[in-house]
Amino acid sequence: MAHLFMLGKIALTQGVNKLVNGDHSLLHPFLMLHVKGQWGDLSEDDKQANDEALNQTGGRLLSAYNLPQGKIWIVTEADRSSSTVLLPSEY
């Protein structure tokens, strides 16, 4: 499946960096799921909102994934200029 959008500049929060113990390669599979529209552990309403943002409204995109170490969120801004990987507690 092709990428549906660009991530832009990718930023990691301190909490995520600590969660993966500085091994950013652990995040790559989740970033790839995100750009393919596989939104992870979200409600059906949130997944639908992402699909609408992607195809109609141009809004922010949110994904949630469970790593063995804990949960992460990936947020891509509406203009697709940047994406942030963060812990839910850092939102």
- 73 in a domain, yes or no? yes
pLDDT value at position 91? 85
31 in a structural domain: yes
Sign of CA pseudo-dihedral 47, 49, 55, 61: negative
Edge-first strand listing for the sheet containing 9-12? 9-12, 82-86, 70-76, 61-67
Query: Cα(49)–Cα(2) distance, rounded to whole angstroms?
Result: 20
Regions of the chain with pLDDT less than 70: none
Q: Where are the beta strands (DSSP E) in 1-91?
A: 9-12, 61-67, 70-76, 82-86
- Whether residue 4 lies inside any domain: the answer is no
pLDDT at 2: 84
Number of domains in the chain: 1
pTM of the predicted structure, to 2 decimals: 0.95
Residue 3 belongs to a domain:
no
- Please report whether residue 23 resides in a domain: yes
The whole domain housing 20 covers 9-90
